[in-house]
Amino acid sequence: MTTDRPAGGDAEAWTVGRLLTVTTDWLIGRGSESPRLDAEVLLAHVRGCERIALYTAFDTPVADAERARFRELVKRRGEGEPVAYLVGSREFFSLPFAVNKAVLVPRPETEGLVVRALDLCKMAAAPRIIDVGTGSGAIAVTLAKRLPQATIVATDISTEALTVAGENAARHGVAERVRFVACDLLGASEAAGPWDVIVSNPPYVREDEFDSLPRDVRLHEPRSALVSGPAGVEVVARLAAAAAESLAPGGWLLIEIGPAVAAAAEGVLDAQPGLVREATLPDLANLPRIVQARRPVTP
């Protein structure tokens, strides 16, 4: 892509509107699923403004230095690098979260986990919640913002991810209310429970699915946070076993899964002693997205 100043004087200057149009067309040719949005987010980032402000500046010329920075980001986007990594942030539940290559990019589908956890906790006086595999901390931090009475712990096996999550907790004023623990699943004393809600967006991609993932995901997001194993539910199975020992009586386990492994994940929960599987919840596209189970109040 080139955004060098064309010949012809001011009539052909690189304005905000022209940059967006040319960039959108170029990104379409590179296979972007949201070329116009990508162009707007990157240009707003470079100009240090809200994306909506671009709409009142279509005729404003863009300075050479800004155009050079924009061109470099667009080139990287064309090579498949996620926009969230390029700008260092992604919105989740209407909150901005810092992200880098140590964590998955938060996605709208995962907001369903937050909605379900909030629904389960809305009548609880002081719910105890743990977010397993927290990544950027999006789930734990959002729950802390919405449930000031809750006790919240978040775990991750990656210390780099926990650093990002801690920064996001501080950014949103809940650093004193979310305890971050480095461990595998619930494998630390601080994660032992008992918990009223265990929520998790674990790795759930089958090994044979990985090569078919979108290029930006496959090439740039952490593979260890995506791929579970040959069946796609290996982590789900380990988490279900741990949850059966760590949930309080009546407590809930909420796990995001991909539609391709939904039936297998349901089978895992059906087979887990100490848990009773509940109905799987769909996402906004009506695809199976959240498998859930609870620990009976009485054995």
Residue linked to tokens 């759930």:
204
**At residue 7, does pLDDT exceed 50?**
no
**How much is the pLDDT for 166?**
98
- Give the pLDDT mean for 40-49: 96
φ/ψ bin of 70: left (φ > 0), alpha (ψ from -120 to 50), beta (otherwise): alpha
* Residue 240 and residue 253 in contact, taking contact as beta carbons nearer than 8 Å: yes
Chain region(s) in the chain for CATH 1.10.8.10:
9-79
pLDDT tens per residue across span 115-127: 999 999 988 899 9
**At residue 111, does pLDDT exceed 90?**
yes
Q: At what angle do helices 159-171 and 138-146 cross, to 10 degrees?
A: 30
pLDDT tens per residue across span 12-39: 789 999 999 999 999 999 988 899 999 9
Max CA pair span of the chain: 80
H/E stretch holding 49: none
Chain region(s) in the chain for CATH 3.40.50.150:
101-294
- Give the pLDDT mean for 146-170: 97
pLDDT tens per residue across span 63-83: 999 999 999 999 999 999 999
Mind giving me the DSSP string for 16-40? HHHHHHHHHHHHHHTT-SSHHHHHH
**How much is the pLDDT for 4?**
54
**At residue 299, does pLDDT exceed 90?**
no
Percent of all residues in the chain with a pLDDT value above 90, rounded to a whole number = 90
Structure tokens at 40: 């707007």
**How much is the pLDDT for 214?**
87
Give the Cα separation of 243 and 128 in Å (integer). Answer: 13
Structure tokens at 185: 């699943």
**At residue 182, does pLDDT exceed 90?**
yes
Give the Cα separation of 122 and 214 in Å (integer). Answer: 37
- Could you tell me the fold of the domain covering 9-79? Helicase, Ruva Protein; domain 3 (1.10.8)
- Could you tell me the fold of the domain covering 101-294? Rossmann fold (3.40.50)
Percent of all residues in the chain with a pLDDT value above 70, rounded to a whole number = 96
| Phi and psi torsions of 3, nearest 5° | -130, 30
H/E stretch holding 84: helix 83-87
**Burial of 265 (C-beta count, 10 Å sphere; 0-12/13-18/19+):** buried
- Give the pLDDT mean for 39-50: 95
**At residue 137, does pLDDT exceed 70?**
yes
- Give the pLDDT mean for 151-175: 98
229-232: long-range contacts, CB 8 A cutoff, minimum separation 24:
230/206, 231/206, 231/261, 231/264, 232/204, 232/205, 232/206, 232/258, 232/260, 232/261, 232/264
> What is the Cα 94 distance to its own chain's centre?
13
Give the Cα separation of 246 and 274 in Å (integer). Answer: 10
CA distances from residue 155 to 57, 70, 94, 141, 265 in whole angstroms, order as listed: 44, 36, 23, 12, 21
